[in-house]
Amino acid sequence: MIALDLFLTNQFSEALSYLKPRTKESMYHSLTYATILEMQAMMTFDSQDILLAGNMMKEAQSLCQRHRRKSSVTDSFSNLVHRPTLDQFTEEEIHAEVCYAECLLQRAALTFLQDENMVSFIKGGIKVRNSYQTYKELDSLMQSSQYYKGESYRHFEGGVKLGVGAFNLTLSMLPTRILRLLEFVGFSGNKVLDTSVKTLSKSFPPRPFLVFPPHPGDAHKSLPVQQTLSGGGRELKPLLKTGTCEPAPLEGSRPMASRRTQGAMRGAVEAMGTQQISPSLSQDYGLLQLEEGATGHSFRAVLCVMLLLCYHTFLTFVLGTGNVNIEEAEKLLKPYLNRYPKGAIFLFFAGRIEAIKGNIDAAIRRFEECCEAQQHWKQFHHMCYWELMWCFTYKGQWKMAYFYADLLSKENSWSKATYFYMKAAYLSMFEKDDYKPFGDNEVELFRAVPGLKLKIAGKSLPTEKFAIRKSRRYLSPNPVSLPIPALEMMYIWNGYAVIGKQPELTDGMLEVITKAEEMLAKGPENEYSADDECLVKLLKGLCLKYLGRVQEAEENFRSISANEKKIKYDHYLIPNALLELALLFMEQGRNEEAIRLLESAKQNYKNYSMESRTHFRIQAATLQAKSSLENGNRSMVSSVSL
């Protein structure tokens, strides 16, 4: 807990130094130490950082293995017939199980990063599945009547809620075709839910209020850490002693997820006995578990908060419809931002929230604060540079956007191809008479993009593939320029959902798009003409939608489908036009029409750029449309019965 407090106050090296002496004897010290190293590796993508984190996580897993319950041949046979119960475990052993599951999951992530061959994928997949099965068993044990709460039960429960919540949220977001594959190899979101559904169907316990866990800096006062976790023999010294004081609810707090609880109860009967993964039920239960973990009094509470913030501010935004539960994100962040006003992690999330709300200037200030708050981990700076690049894109300030893309291309190794592409894209947005003080030429930058391709987890990044495909037209001696490449990439990252909150920004973007449309109309026809015209129609339709010009937006989206056979290269435009038209219909309450369009986009188009991301968005939109239909039908039934 002390190490966690050091980490949250940007004292990263101090946190590692505090943990290191006990990494050979304490499961939690070892796991936390390895987790910090893994976070660093994930941000740098440096091979040495990945190797170091992987070795440390392997040591942590070995330590957890030593503390797990030892099974004899008789025990193994018995477990095939009867599931083990918690009364068969010591408190140390159940903590070892949850820590072991965390190690497996984190090692899997590092395995995917470390190697590019099929063997690494198989190894990583096995680790993920074993971790999943462990969390599922622990969740079942927690729901059993034999569950006894030991002195450190909150930290055990926090670990289970973190793992089960993360798995269910992930399953809920995956496209149908991936879910079918996962079901085949043994995953089932509903099976994770089985035990909890039974509990829900009996009577759901009162939900906790949104409260802030004990201050990690005070952990040594209320939660003193035992000097050893290994203990000889079977007698167990408690891992942590829980404090007796209960923090009062925050001002304005409320019971969390009552809607979600009711949804889970309604879906209980449907979930029981099925082998299929229900995305909506997995999502509800995943959020429920993480929210309970976030309000719990365990050191994993802050990890649950961070995961929820990632979900609300990144995953549902970039891979969803852009409809973010921003109020929930703000309530989760507020107490931590108050406690750690200079904490780089929380300043970064504060910037994301402001950006999603359309408060671009406020977002810029937050990201700049985040950069100033610490100098130890430059990777946090790079995350802010990426966000600042987009903030200035939203404002149409191409020179500033170029400045941050240039910084990233020089300092960060995540995707040089993407950074070079963005530099070229911003230069191409300049007017002919604009002064370019940077010394770069956009044509040369575009031509350099294909040679910068990087492989992560054995595959090229989707954004890199997209950038490389778009750059190919510049390989010709007389290249045909991309019309508005920066605004096209902005669509890939769902940026129009940001500017849509501010009419003046949307108007400014529409003006740029309209100029590009006029230039295409005046210019000579070429092999890319149909593709470029359809791209402009898609982006124009988005701006018109957010400005409330619904009929014009629909016409622009429909014109892309009408010209489908003319498109030669940018085939991604067609399913995305159907997706955007469906989202437009959903805003008008035309959910049945929207679902038909989404089904067409999913089933009728394959092998196009950014296909997986489009499928994620289709999945999110379909869930939303079906939920609206179900709620509408329920309202009609209720009104009739009244």
Confidence grade of residue 438 (pLDDT, cut at 50, 70, 90): confident
What is the C-alpha end-to-end distance of the chain, expressed in Å?
54
CA 457 to mean position of chain CA atoms: 17
Question: Angle CA(104)–CA(176)–CA(309) in degrees, nearest 5?
Answer: 55
- DSSP 8-state secondary structure symbol assigned to residue 240: B
The winner for highest mean pLDDT among 127-131, 244-248, 438-442, 620-624 is: 620-624
Between 289 and 266, where is the model more confident? Answer: 289
- What's the pTM value of the predicted model, to 2 decimals? 0.83
In this predicted structure, what is the pLDDT of residue 275?
A: 47
CB neighbour class for 566 (10 Å; exposed up to 12, middle 13-18, buried from 19): exposed
Interior/surface letters 506-544, b for 16+ CB within 10 angstroms, e for the rest? bebbbebbeebbeebeeeeeeebbbbbbbbbbbbbbbbb
Residue 57 vs residues 16, 103, 232: alpha-carbon distances, Å: 14, 6, 24
The residues, any chain, with a CB within 8 Å of residue 48's CB and separated by 6 or more, are none
Confidence grade of residue 83 (pLDDT, cut at 50, 70, 90): low
Place of tokens 């492989």: 455
Model confidence pLDDT, tens digit, residues 459-518:
678 899 999 999 999 999 999 999 999 999 999 999 999 999 999 999 999 999 999 999
Return the minimum-mean-pLDDT range out of 69-83, 160-174, 205-219, 581-595: 205-219
Confidence grade of residue 264 (pLDDT, cut at 50, 70, 90): very low
Residue 480 near residue 455 (C-beta atoms within 8 A):
no
Model confidence pLDDT, tens digit, residues 387-433:
999 999 999 999 999 999 999 999 998 899 999 999 999 999 998 77
In this predicted structure, what is the pLDDT of residue 276?
A: 56
Confidence grade of residue 119 (pLDDT, cut at 50, 70, 90): low
CA atoms within 13 A on the CB side of 569: 17
Residue 369 near residue 394 (C-beta atoms within 8 A):
no
Cα separation, 108 vs 454, in Å, equals 20
Q: Is the pLDDT of residue 246 over 90?
A: no
Q: Is the pLDDT of residue 256 over 70?
A: no
Between 570 and 378, where is the model more confident? Answer: 570
Helix axes 153-173, 279-295, angle to 10 degrees: 150
Cα separation, 217 vs 11, in Å, equals 13
Residue 227 vs residues 19, 29, 240, 296, 300: alpha-carbon distances, Å: 13, 11, 10, 24, 20
Percent of the chain with pLDDT over 70: 78
